Structures are given as structure tokens and as C-alpha cells.
């Protein structure tokens, strides 16, 4: 591995190094393993960074202190590491909305004039501990992109929910690889998330997962709230102090200037539209930045469907999304008036509907505003859609979604289809081992021969102790950077087909832990789904998969891959029983080193009582530890298994089953009953006629 760091300043001080070791030795060296303790940096954030030029002033807002003694401060990035000059402290107030504000200590620093362009993590050593925020400072000698910007748009990530056999938290790691690849290969300048980051707004574990995973993307990023981020959150104070604001951005309305562009974030809340004060601020910001191309981010779209719209608000009302049309009509009219009057507003990005629905509003002068609505990244969608993300190229006069080669853009299918991009990251608890395992055989959106994998490693392990395991032949480039608190590793690899790559400071020789927890129903029956819940974990590199090899009367019937759940130690195996006999499920937990632990579950499924007397055989759970059986499929695919895999029993040609005779008898009885009823009605009719 090559080591690429800048020698711009002396080695980090002994005091800071000691603070790092003492503060972070018990947690993973990953951005986002945050606690609720104070003080902490609220702004800039990894999802609302600050853009500066070399030599500029940098303000850092700290919550939870009145006075703080700053000893040293640094910014670390792949472009190098630099010490900041501390210029003073002042008190400040951050107003979240008209009902809630909070005080902060604003630390004022100055960046050195020789700092290189790039994205940086800020680290502040103080008497109140070590304060830091990943990917929160952008240094750009030109101030940011000029003329044209490429935006990667993701929405509705729904961390904390399960979909397609994988929890969204787990499967979202593929976007780290995808986005870092697009940053390098397509020149993506910024990544934006338009709400519903978390499925339930009080799910702190999912916020931590989101922080940990998303902060590995090596590009500036922005985010706003959606209605799910407000779910079960009773007030703005709680939103900011404990949940969304603690792990994402402590603001409900914000603006961010980046080169020729101004991004504005709006909170459409649970109600599905913003309060009027947000639109007042929007107009103020837009009017004050006439030289900037304005891009608005909000969760609920203004237009329900794709199309081109022109005319007065009342003429368009039937095309407006229901939450705006029914309860927020006054706000909808105000938003339309703003985009009509201010020609620097060029794009409005939204989500919520879990499908693509790009619309165009044509102003009275013929100029256009592009309302881009992108499909969900991870969660449920209407028939005909898919999980995905969109790359949009924006300039002052045009908005152009970029589609993969070979595909034609349409307003209802402009997103990249990511369902076949099965590239997953797994880390051990201390981040001394990071693994990627993948199957891209069904991904068609672009060539996967050169994918960028970016991840963090624990710095307490010696640098030379980290080795590459797995499919080493796939790797054609490795860079490693010292980011102060941890190492950042960037690997370029060929991910064609399926395989795995691990970077670890130790070898993993211990098999996983595996335990069968429950089986439902307790007495399996023909034609019913059988659900087996198992507990599996690994003290080494981590788990790759849990599978069940199915045998009936000693003969193999197939392999089922377990579904992952929100709890990373809990797996769910679903089988539909389709033939009687003596069953054995050989359940195996396979770790990323290939070590296997197995247990067996045996039970009997009887034939119907009309064919064979019922044998009362209680369901038994028989844990047996051993080596992998011969049928273990070493090339098990990573595609999501069917929800209820079928075990099909064959029936000899010409054989008539008991169930067939039962159906025939029922049909005959029904026909007889109908005939008797008709005869009775005819008799009653004739009697009435005679009278």
C-alpha cells in the first residue's frame, strides 16, 4: 500500500495523540460513532459543510460550553493535513425556527494560505476534550464549481427499515462505493439527500449508522428532513437536540453557497409543506444572491407527476401534490410566485413518492424551472419502479439528468437502477478489519471493472499490520491516508461478478457463533411457510451470510439464504414446506474469511390423515456443531432470495391424490344443492301462478 500524506506540519502533538488514544480506544475509528454528551461540533456538519478559500476565516460552532480553551486545531484530508490558527472565541445563537434557538460558542480559525484544495475533517484539541467533524470543510481556491455542477441526488434512504431481505442500513453501503466511483469517473461535485433519511425519527442507532456510512463518501454532501425524520418526534427541540439535528444538521432551513451555485434546504415537515416563514427566508436568500444559480431541496414534491406545466396557480392546482394542494395551498402559491419572479431559481429537487417524476414549470417569459423528483434509494416503490439515484448536471440555463450509456432518459425513469449493484461493506467492532463482498452480475448501468472503495481503519493498529485478503487479484490500485484519528483507504478494484476483498490488521481463524432461536409454527405443515430465527455473530472480520441447506428424507432439496434484520446478529430463514417427510435443515454461518459454524434442525412433516395415520412427533431443535457438509455451495449468489422459497414435491404421472377426490366430492355436493334449490323455486312459482 502507498502512503500519501502531506508533510506540511510536524507530527501530531503527544498531547493530542494521547487524547486520541484515550478517547477513542473503546469505540470504532469511524466518523459517526457519536454520543449525546457535550460539547460537540454542530456546524459545520458532514451534511452541511462550509466552503472556504486558502487563507480564509473558518467558524466552528460548539454546543455545550460557555468557555473553552483551544490548544490546537487541524484539518485533515487526502490533500494533506494543516494546522489552523486560532483567532478567538465569541458567543453566538443559532435559530432553528421562530419557536426554538440555542446558544453556541463560535471558535474562529484561519486556514493557512498554502492549504490544498479538497474535503477535510476538522479536529480541535481543547480542555473539554477532542472535538471533530468529518468531511465538514471544503477548501477550493476558486470558491467552488463554475458554470456547471454535477449533483448526485439520493432520497428516501429509510434507515431502520427492512426491504428485500436486507435492512436498509446494511444495503446502503453499496452507495458508498457507487458514489465514490461516480465522483472519480463522472466528476460528481456534490451529493444531496432530500429527506426520509431514517424510517422513524427517534431511531438513534440508525442515525449513527447513517453518520458512519454516509461520511465515507468523498464529496461534499447536503441533507434535509422528510416526514419520516419527524416521525415520533414531538418538538423542534427534540429534533435538534437528540435526533436529526444531533446526527445530521441542526437546522430546519439553511442555505449553502458553493461557487456559482446556491443550495437552499426547506423542511416540509410531517404536514407535507413548509411554514410561511421558510418561504419568506427563501425569497430573501434568493433575492440577495441574484448572481447565483439557485437549487432548492425539499422532501415533498410540488407536482404530483412528470410533465410540463404553465399557467396561473389556480390553473395548475389539480396537478399539485396533495399535501400542498389540500392543506398547504397558500404556500404552494407563494413558492410558485418565487420561482416565477426570480429567474436565478433553476432547479427544485424532491423525493417522497418513491418514483421518478421530473416536471418542468414554464414561466410566463418562457424560461424553465426543473422540478426533479427521484425514486427511493432503498425502500418500497410502486410497480414499475426501482431503487436508484440520479445524477443531474445543472447550469444557469439547463438541467440535464445524466443516464447510463445505452439508456434513453425519460421523466419517469431517469434514475440509475442500483438494484443489481450488490456491493456491501462489513466492519469488525474496532474497525481493524473492513471487508467488501459483492455480486454485480445483474448490474448493467456502467462497467464495474474499476470501482472505488473508500473506508476507514483504526489507527491504533500498526500501519504495516494491515494486509489484503480475499480476491487480491482484483485490486489494481491502493492509497492510504492519515486523517489524524484514523486511516482512510482508497482501493480501485475490478468488481465484475462476485467475490470479496478484506483489509485487516489480523487474520481471522475463529468460526462464527450460531444459535437457533425459534421455529414457527412449532409443528410445520404442508403448504405453510416455516420461519426459523437464528442468532449469528462473528468476533473476527464479520459475517458474509447465513444459509440453510434443506434435506428431505436424506435427499437435498435446495439452499435458502437467510434474510438479514435490523439487528446485525439476527437472521431469518423462510421456507415453504411442500412435501411430507423427515426434514433436516443444515444451517451454516459463513464469515468473511470462509470459516463456517453449523447447526442442524430436524423435524417431521406428516402426510394428510386420510392417507396415513398421524404420527405424533414433536418438533425438535437439535444443535450439532461440525464441519461444513458436502453440499455447502461455495459460490452461493448474493441475489436476494424469494420471500418464501418453495420445496416442490413431485407427483407420479396419472396418480390421483386424496385432495383431488375431496375437491370432486365438494363440487358434486354444490351442484346437487343448486339443483334442489332451483326445483324448489320452480315449484313455488307454479303454486303462486295457480292461485
Please report the pLDDT score of residue 471 as a whole number.
96
pLDDT higher than threshold 70 for residue 17:
no
Pair 85, 45 in one domain: yes
* Cα distance between residue 122 and residue 131, in whole Å: 8
**Domain assignment present for 394:** no
pLDDT tens figures, 254-276: 999 999 999 999 999 999 999 99
**Domain assignment present for 684:** no
Please report the pLDDT score of residue 675 as a whole number.
61
Pair 446, 519 in one domain: no
Residue 244: which of 509, 538, 105, 48 has the closest Cα?
A: 48
Per DSSP, the three-state class of 120 is strand
Residue 154: which of 386, 359, 374 has the closest Cα?
A: 374
> Are residues 593 and 611 in contact, defined by beta-carbon separation less than 8 angstroms?
no
Q: What phi-psi label fits residue 187: left (phi over 0), alpha (psi between -120 and 50 degrees) or beta?
A: left
Report the DSSP pairing between strands 261-265 and 293-297: parallel
Lowest pLDDT segment from 190-199, 521-530, 590-599 = 521-530
Task: Give the single-character DSSP code of 268.
Answer: -
* Cα distance between residue 306 and residue 371, in whole Å: 9
Pair 43, 129 in one domain: yes
Model confidence at 66, pLDDT cuts 50, 70, 90, reads: confident
Q: Which neighbouring-strand residues pair with 133?
A: 122
Higher pLDDT, 461 or 629: 461
* Cα distance between residue 70 and residue 630, in whole Å: 62
DSSP notation for 67-83? ---EEEEEEEETTEEEE
Q: Please tell me the total count of domains within the chain.
A: 3
pLDDT tens figures, 659-672: 445 445 665 566 66
Pair 40, 139 in one domain: yes
* Cα distance between residue 536 and residue 542, in whole Å: 10
pLDDT higher than threshold 90 for residue 43:
yes
Pair 453, 527 in one domain: no
> Are residues 105 and 68 in contact, defined by beta-carbon separation less than 8 angstroms?
yes
Pair 476, 534 in one domain: no
* Cα distance between residue 404 and residue 409, in whole Å: 9
Q: Give the H/E segment covering residue 285.
A: helix 276-287
Please report the pLDDT score of residue 612 as a whole number.
47
* Cα distance between residue 232 and residue 521, in whole Å: 33
Mean pLDDT of 159-177: 94
**Domain assignment present for 249:** no
Q: Which neighbouring-strand residues pair with 370?
A: 347, 360
Please give the mean pLDDT across all residues of the chain. Answer: 87
Per DSSP, the three-state class of 428 is coil
Model confidence at 380, pLDDT cuts 50, 70, 90, reads: very high
Q: Which triple of cell numbers denotes residue 297?
A: 431541496
Model confidence at 480, pLDDT cuts 50, 70, 90, reads: very high
- Domain carrying residue 118: 31-143
Of 143, 175, 198, which residue sits at a domain end?
Answer: 143
> Are residues 531 and 572 in contact, defined by beta-carbon separation less than 8 angstroms?
yes
> Are residues 590 and 512 in contact, defined by beta-carbon separation less than 8 angstroms?
yes
The total of other beta-carbon atoms located within 10 Å of residue 465's CB is: 10
Sheet holding 40-43, edge to edge: 40-43, 57-63, 100-110, 85-97
Domain of residue 135, CATH code: 2.60.40.10
Domain of residue 556, CATH code: 2.60.40.1220
Pair 500, 518 in one domain: no
* Cα distance between residue 431 and residue 433, in whole Å: 5
Q: Is the peptide bond before 110 cis (omega within 30 degrees of 0)?
A: no
**Domain assignment present for 257:** no
> Are residues 373 and 351 in contact, defined by beta-carbon separation less than 8 angstroms?
yes
pLDDT tens figures, 563-594: 999 999 999 999 989 899 999 999 999 999 99
**Domain assignment present for 267:** no
**Domain assignment present for 457:** yes
Q: Which triple of cell numbers denotes residue 471?
A: 480476491
Pair 449, 487 in one domain: yes
**Domain assignment present for 675:** no
Pair 495, 571 in one domain: no
* Cα distance between residue 153 and residue 402, in whole Å: 11
Please report the pLDDT score of residue 36 as a whole number.
55
Report the DSSP pairing between strands 293-297 and 345-350: parallel
Of 595, 622, 649, which residue sits at a domain end?
Answer: 622
Q: Work out the percent of the chain whose per-residue pLDDT is above 70.
A: 83
* Cα distance between residue 572 and residue 534, in whole Å: 6
Task: Give the angle 485-438-179 at the CA atoms, nearest 5°.
Answer: 55
> Are residues 530 and 524 in contact, defined by beta-carbon separation less than 8 angstroms?
yes
pLDDT higher than threshold 60 for residue 115:
yes
- Helix-helix angle 276-287:329-341, to 10 degrees: 0
* Cα distance between residue 96 and residue 20, in whole Å: 32
The total of other beta-carbon atoms located within 10 Å of residue 420's CB is: 16
Per DSSP, the three-state class of 605 is strand
Pair 519, 569 in one domain: yes
User: What are the distances in angstroms from CA 402 to CA 182, 406, 432, 498?
Assistant: 12, 12, 38, 27
Please report the pLDDT score of residue 89 as a whole number.
95
pLDDT tens figures, 518-575: 999 999 999 899 999 999 999 999 999 999 999 999 999 999 999 999 999 999 999 9
pLDDT tens figures, 326-354: 999 999 999 999 999 999 999 999 999 99
Higher pLDDT, 60 or 652: 60
End-to-end CA, the chain = 106
Per DSSP, the three-state class of 340 is helix
pLDDT higher than threshold 50 for residue 629:
no
Please report the pLDDT score of residue 665 as a whole number.
60
Q: Give the H/E segment covering residue 131.
A: strand 129-139
Q: Is the peptide bond before 44 cis (omega within 30 degrees of 0)?
A: yes
pLDDT higher than threshold 50 for residue 292:
yes
Question: What values do phi and psi take at 181, rounded to 5?
Answer: -70, -45
- Helix-helix angle 204-214:173-185, to 10 degrees: 30
Mean pLDDT of 177-189: 97
**Domain assignment present for 609:** yes
Task: Give the single-character DSSP code of 75.
Answer: E
* Cα distance between residue 109 and residue 86, in whole Å: 5
pLDDT higher than threshold 90 for residue 498:
yes
Pair 527, 604 in one domain: yes
The total of other beta-carbon atoms located within 10 Å of residue 85's CB is: 12
Q: Which triple of cell numbers denotes residue 236?
A: 423542534
Pair 544, 590 in one domain: yes
Q: What phi-psi label fits residue 64: left (phi over 0), alpha (psi between -120 and 50 degrees) or beta?
A: left
- pTM of the prediction? 0.84
Question: What values do phi and psi take at 318, rounded to 5?
Answer: -70, -15
* Cα distance between residue 64 and residue 582, in whole Å: 63
pLDDT higher than threshold 50 for residue 684:
no
Of 105, 120, 143, which residue sits at a domain end?
Answer: 143
DSSP notation for 454-523? EEEEETTS-GGG-EEEE-GGGEEEEEEEE-SSEEEEEEEE---SEEEEEEESS---SPPEEEEEEEESSS
DSSP notation for 27-43? S-SSTT---S-S-EEEE
* Cα distance between residue 248 and residue 204, in whole Å: 11
Lowest pLDDT segment from 445-449, 622-626, 671-675 = 622-626
Report the DSSP pairing between strands 433-439 and 422-427: antiparallel
Mean pLDDT of 87-94: 95
Amino acid at each position: 500500500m502507498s502512503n500519501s500524506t502531506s508533510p506540511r506540519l510536524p507530527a501530531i502533538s503527544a498531547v493530542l495523540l494521547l487524547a486520541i488514544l484515550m478517547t477513542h480506544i473503546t469505540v470504532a475509528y469511524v466518523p459517526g460513532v457519536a454520543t449525546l454528551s457535550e460539547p460537540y461540533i454542530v456546524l459545520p456538519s458532514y451534511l452541511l459543510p462550509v466552503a472556504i478559500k486558502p487563507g480564509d476565516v473558518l467558524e466552528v460552532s460548539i454546543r455545550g460550553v460557555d468557555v473553552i480553551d483551544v490548544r490546537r486545531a487541524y484539518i485533515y484530508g487526502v490533500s494533506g493535513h494543516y494546522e489552523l490558527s486560532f483567532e478567538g472565541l465569541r458567543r453566538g445563537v443559532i435559530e432553528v425556527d421562530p419557536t426554538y434557538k440555542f446558544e453556541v460558542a463560535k471558535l474562529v480559525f484561519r486556514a493557512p494560505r498554502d492549504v490544498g484544495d479538497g474535503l477535510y475533517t476538522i479536529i480541535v484539541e481543547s480542555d473539554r476534550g477532542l472535538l471533530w467533524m468529518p468531511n465538514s470543510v471544503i477548501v477550493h481556491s476558486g470558491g467552488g464549481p463554475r458554470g456547471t455542477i454535477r449533483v448526485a441526488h439520493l432520497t428516501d434512504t429509510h434507515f431502520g427499515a427492512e426491504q428485500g431481505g436486507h435492512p436498509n442500513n446494511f444495503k446502503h453501503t453499496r452507495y458508498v462505493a457507487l458514489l465514490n466511483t461516480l465522483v472519480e469517473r463522472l466528476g460528481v461535485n456534490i451529493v444531496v439527500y432530500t429527506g426520509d433519511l431514517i424510517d422513524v425519527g427517534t431511531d438513534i442507532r440508525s442515525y449513527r449508522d447513517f453518520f458512519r456510512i454516509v461520511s465515507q463518501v468523498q464529496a461534499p454532501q447536503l441533507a434535509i428532513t422528510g416526514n419520516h425524520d419527524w416521525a415520533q418526534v414531538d418538538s423542534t427541540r427534540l429534533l435538534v437536540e437528540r435526533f436529526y439535528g444531533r446526527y445530521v444538521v441542526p437546522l430546519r432551513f439553511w442555505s449553502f453557497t458553493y461557487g456559482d451555485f446556491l443550495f437552499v434546504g426547506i423542511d416540509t415537515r410531517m404536514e407535507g409543506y413548509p411554514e410561511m416563514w421558510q418561504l419568506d427566508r427563501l425569497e430573501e436568500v434568493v433575492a440577495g444572491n441574484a448572481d447565483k444559480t439557485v437549487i432548492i431541496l425539499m422532501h415533498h414534491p410540488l407536482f404530483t407527476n412528470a410533465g410540463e406545466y404553465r399557467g396561473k396557480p389556480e390553473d395548475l392546482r389539480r396537478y399539485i401534490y396533495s399535501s400542498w394542494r389540500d392543506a398547504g395551498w397558500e404556500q404552494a402559491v407563494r413558492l410558485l410566485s418565487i420561482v416565477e419572479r426570480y429567474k436565478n431559481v433553476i432547479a427544485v429537487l424532491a423525493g417522497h413518492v418513491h418514483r421518478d417524476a421530473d416536471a418542468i414549470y414554464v414561466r410566463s417569459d418562457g424560461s424553465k424551472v426543473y422540478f426533479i423528483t427521484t425514486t427511493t434509494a432503498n425502500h418500497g416503490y410502486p410497480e414499475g419502479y426501482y431503487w436508484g439515484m440520479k445524477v443531474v448536471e445543472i447550469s444557469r440555463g439547463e438541467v440535464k439528468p445524466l443516464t447510463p450509456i445505452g439508456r434513453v432518459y425519460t421523466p419517469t425513469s431517469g434514475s440509475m437502477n442500483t438494484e443489481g449493484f450488490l456491493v456491501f461493506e462489513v466492519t469488525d467492532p474496532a474497525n481493524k478489519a473492513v471487508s467488501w463482498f459483492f455480486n454485480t452480475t445483474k448490474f448493467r448501468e456502467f462497467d464495474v471493472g474499476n470501482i472505488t472503495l473508500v473506508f476507514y481503519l483504526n489507527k491504533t493498529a500498526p500501519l504495516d499490520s494491515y494486509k489484503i485478503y480475499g480476491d487480491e487479484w482484483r485490486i489494481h490500485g491502493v492509497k492510504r491516508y492519515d486523517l489524524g484519528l484514523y486511516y482512510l483507504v482508497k482501493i480501485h478494484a475490478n468488481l465484475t461478478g462476485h467475490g470479496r476483498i478484506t483489509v485487516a490488521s489480523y487474520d481471522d481463524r475463529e468460526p462464527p457463533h450460531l444459535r437457533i432461536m425459534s421455529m414457527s409454527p412449532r409443528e410445520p405443515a404442508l403448504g405453510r411457510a416455516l420461519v426459523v430465527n437464528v442468532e449469528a455473530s462473528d468476533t473476527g472480520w464479520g459475517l458474509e451470510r447465513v444459509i440453510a441447506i434443506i434435506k428431505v428424507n436424506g435427499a437435498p432439496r435446495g439452499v435458502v439464504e437467510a434474510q438479514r434484520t435490523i439487528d446485525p446478529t439476527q437472521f431469518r430463514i423462510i421456507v415453504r414446506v411442500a412435501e411430507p417427510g423427515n426434514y433436516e435443515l443444515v444451517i451454516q454461518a459463513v464469515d468473511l474469511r470462509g470459516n463456517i459454524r453449523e447447526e442442524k434442525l430436524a423435524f417431521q412433516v406428516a402426510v394428510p390423515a386420510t392417507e396415513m395415520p398421524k404420527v405424533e412427533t414433536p418438533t425438535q431443535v437439535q444443535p450439532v456443531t461440525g464441519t461444513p457438509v458436502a453440499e455447502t455451495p461455495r459460490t452461493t449468489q448474493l441475489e436476494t432470495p424469494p420471500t418464501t422459497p418453495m420445496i416442490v414435491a413431485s407427483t407420479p404421472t396419472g396418480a390421483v391424490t386424496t385432495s383431488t377426490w375431496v375437491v370432486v366430492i365438494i363440487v358434486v355436493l354444490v351442484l346437487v344443492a343448486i339443483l334442489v334449490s332451483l326445483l324448489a323455486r320452480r315449484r313455488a312459482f307454479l303454486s303462486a301462478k295457480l292461485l
